[in-house]
Chains A and B, each alone.
Chain A
Amino acid sequence: MPPDGVLEGVHPGISFYEQKGRFSGILAWILSTDHKRIGLLYFFSILTFFFIGVVLGFLIRLELIAPGKTIMDAQTYNSVFTLHGVIMIFLFVIPGIPAIFGNFFLPLQIGARDVSFPVVNLMSWYFYITGAILAVVSLFTGGGPVDTGWTFYAPYSLRTNANVPLAVFAVFLLGFSSILTGINFVTTIHRLRAPGMSWFRLPLFVWALYATGWIQVLATPVVGITLLLILLERLFGVGVFDPAKGGDPILYQHLFWIYSHPAVYIMILPAMGIISEIIPTFARRTIFGYKAIAFSSLAIALVGSLVWGHHMFVSGQSYTADWIFSLFTFLVAIPSAIKVFNWVATLYKGSIHLDPPMLFAMAFLFLFSIGGLTGMFQGSLATDVHLHDTYFVVGHFHYIIFGGMGFAFFGGLHYWFPKMFGKMFNKTVASWACLITFIGFNILYFPMFILGWEGMPRRYYDYLPRFHTLHLLSTIGSWILISGLILMFGNLAVALFKGKKAVANPWGGATLEWQIPSPPPAENFEKIPVIDRGPYVFKGAESVG
């Protein structure tokens, strides 16, 4: 190796796409340990499942356009909403931001050549793909598609004829993939920061990934073993969750939510990280309250691990447990609000540029705030008894996950697209797509709050005629939303093939990834940079071109 450690044959002017490796063709991708290539592997596989999830969601809404049977029977409907949940949660929302943008940008943002364990990183993608394939296979084998909802609650998951064993094993593998990513990121952030990149000079996206990595490491194994126990129940009947044998289904719910509530923060924390990157860049202003945002990520990770019982207020757990979990649930609102206020404060007196990534970030602020505040309704014990298992929960959840994580994902996609692919998209079309998606989103999900408040239970195949108008409105919203998505991804696809070449720093960002060419060279940096300032110092980091 040459003294400066750069791989032989790496030329500064050549991007990682053109870099010749040991393999060529498809092997250059599926055997690559380069974090950027792995990020792109994840990008295309995760997006594929996102589109499948969208189609399933579209079918759910289409079925609910009118009372009674419209396009499918009740059993199919049960499978479709379960699949929509499983695919969206486990194959898109949880891995989405960390596995795509985290893999691609974490090493760039801290000034490293790669993550700590590149081979493990590639392995995590294989676990992801195997899990995804098994999930698909479970649809057509055994007793057919799972109809339990994405939560696999016992005892129904032990009794149904559907192919639960294969599906839970698939989710276990996906969890393992997530754990490996978490271990990799935490280690990378501890060990591979460039000289001078102290903890408080880290971009906030890195802080968010750090908190996320810890949740992935600490929470995922618990759901892993819980699902394996469901598997053992199905295969051998060990009885630990089966009430007929003395097992306790409530304990299943506890173990499931011990992971699955923190998992909500695996979904939302990286999204918040993206927003913390976009807002200072497009306000041309250093972030307000850097440390408050960084520590609130850790606070959310910590307190968020102690609130799982709020999914179980009506399950029969003790009243003491109820109010303790309710209290902690309200506490989570504090660090979340700290973030929102700091983002808004960053905008104050900023020089705001309303480019597409910024529009998505603004949509995020609006939708996430509604999602967060409606969460408080369900955190209060008395109100939750009324709202539990209604469309209010569905509305709240989608405002947080789709309005929050989803819009941040789109924002990050538009923000980093020029860097990842070296191409620039049509900004006008992207802005229109953002607007249409935003409008469609609200028409689709806002009626659900009213539906739920009026007593429409979630997951139901049929409903009373008095709910018809709002269901119809919601379905129309889904069409607008999907039109927006088609426009958005169509625009990006056009850019990918015919877009103009992107400059190194199209948005005038100050973090490290904008200081290298688009797309980045194979080993990221010609020389490991020495950091002498914070991440959002815009003086001297002006827009190029």
Chain B
Amino acid sequence: MNETAEMVLEHHKDYTGAKLGMWLFLLTEILLFGGMFILYAAYRYHHPAEFHQAAEELNRIIGALNTLILLTSSLTMALSISAIQKGHRKLSTYFLIATILLGFLFLVNKYIEWSGKFQHGIYPNSPELLARSQGEILFYGLYYAMTGFHGLHVLAGILLLNVMLYLVMTGTIHKGDFILLENSGLYWHLVDIIWIFLFPLFYLIT
């Protein structure tokens, strides 16, 4: 048994295995959202005009701003991992805090956007929405479901990163063992990528 195999089999320190497990988990997340993307595709195909009309009403500025925020947060996330790999613990925590704040900012924006729609009486099962065409009802149904589930993922990511922040600060995650932070980073990037698909589908294709 060589040195690496010994580490893996006897001491349960398996960097590659942890990565593999995380990627499998990310695959399940993609399939979870995949189900909703299929619904989107099918309903868009049946109601192209209504989807077009409804998409015009979404606020592109807030959408673009949120895209920018999430992309930047992915950058700070990656920087945080690079920092810990090079042994700069302080720097790593700063980048991590920045990532958490950006994630929080995303949710605040989302809150502003949703409450704007609510004020116009557009939310699932609202009388205002039910008076509209079926295509628009479906568009908003999917809009709230998909951005809602995405928002929950951002929230989960923020909680996860807070735990990571604690672990980095206490030194559990360090230069020699950073797989937890790296896997959390992968999760954060996934949340980002899903948004990259949601943004054009709901805001840009009109």
Contact = CB atoms under 8 A, between A and B. Distances in A.
Interface of A: 1, 4-5, 112-114, 116-118, 120, 179, 182-184, 186-187, 190-192, 194-195, 217-222, 224-226, 228-229, 232, 236-240, 245-248, 251, 255, 258, 528, 530
Contact of B141 (A116, A224, A225, A238): A238
Interface string B5-45: 11011111010111011001101110111111011001100
B9 A217 contact: no
Contact of B39 (A192, A219, A251): A251
Given A245-B134, A255-B35, A191 B8 contact: yes
Contacts of A222: 31-32, 34-35
Given A236-B124, A236-B144, 17 more contacts: A1-B11, A4-B10, A5-B9, A113-B10, A183-B28, A186-B24, A187-B17, A191-B14, A192-B9, A195-B9, A228-B149, A238-B145, A240-B142, A245-B141, A247-B141, A248-B42, A255-B38
Interface class of chain B by DSSP? helix
B24 A187 contact: yes
Contacts of B49: none
Contacts of A117: 21
A385 to B, nearest CB: 25
9 contacts: A113-B12, A192-B9, A192-B17, A195-B5, A219-B31, A240-B138, A245-B137, A246-B47, A528-B1
Contacts of B25: 179, 183
Which 10 residue pairs are nearest across A and B when measured between Cβ atoms?
Answer: A246-B134, A5-B10, A237-B125, A238-B141, A191-B17, A225-B35, A221-B31, A221-B32, A236-B124, A239-B141
Contacts of A220: 28
Interface residues on B, range: 35 or more
B103 interface: no
B138 A245 contact: yes
A194 B1 CA distance: 9
B17 to A, nearest CB: 4
B94 to A, nearest CB: 29
A225 B33 contact: yes
B145 A116 contact: no
B152 to A, nearest CB: 10
A184 B138 CA distance: 37
Contacts of B6: 5
Given A116-B14, A183-B25, A191-B17, A238 B32 contact: no
Contacts of B46: 248
B63 interface: no
A116 B22 CA distance: 12
B32 A224 contact: yes
Contact of B1 (A195, A237, A247, A248): A195
B20 A191 contact: yes
Given A113-B9, A184-B21, A245-B138, A226 B27 contact: no
A239 B38 contact: no
Given A4-B10, A220-B28, A245-B137, A240 B145 contact: yes
Nearest to B141: A238
A220 B47 CA distance: 29
B36 A225 contact: yes
Contacts of B134: 245-246
B169 to A, nearest CB: 22
A240 B32 contact: no
A224 to B, nearest CB: 6
B191 to A, nearest CB: 15
A190 to B, nearest CB: 6
Contacts of B20: 186-187, 190-191
A258 B1 CA distance: 43
A523 B28 CA distance: 31
Contact of B124 (A218, A237, A251): A237
A83 to B, nearest CB: 26
B185 interface: no
Nearest to B25: A183
Contacts of A528: 1, 9-10
B151 interface: no
A112 B8 CA distance: 10
A187 B8 CA distance: 12
B17 A190 contact: yes
Given A117-B21, A221-B35, A246-B134, A194 B28 contact: no
Nearest to A239: B141
B198 to A, nearest CB: 14
A509 to B, nearest CB: 23
A113 B11 CA distance: 9
A494 B47 CA distance: 65
A183 B19 CA distance: 11
B55 to A, nearest CB: 16
B182 to A, nearest CB: 16
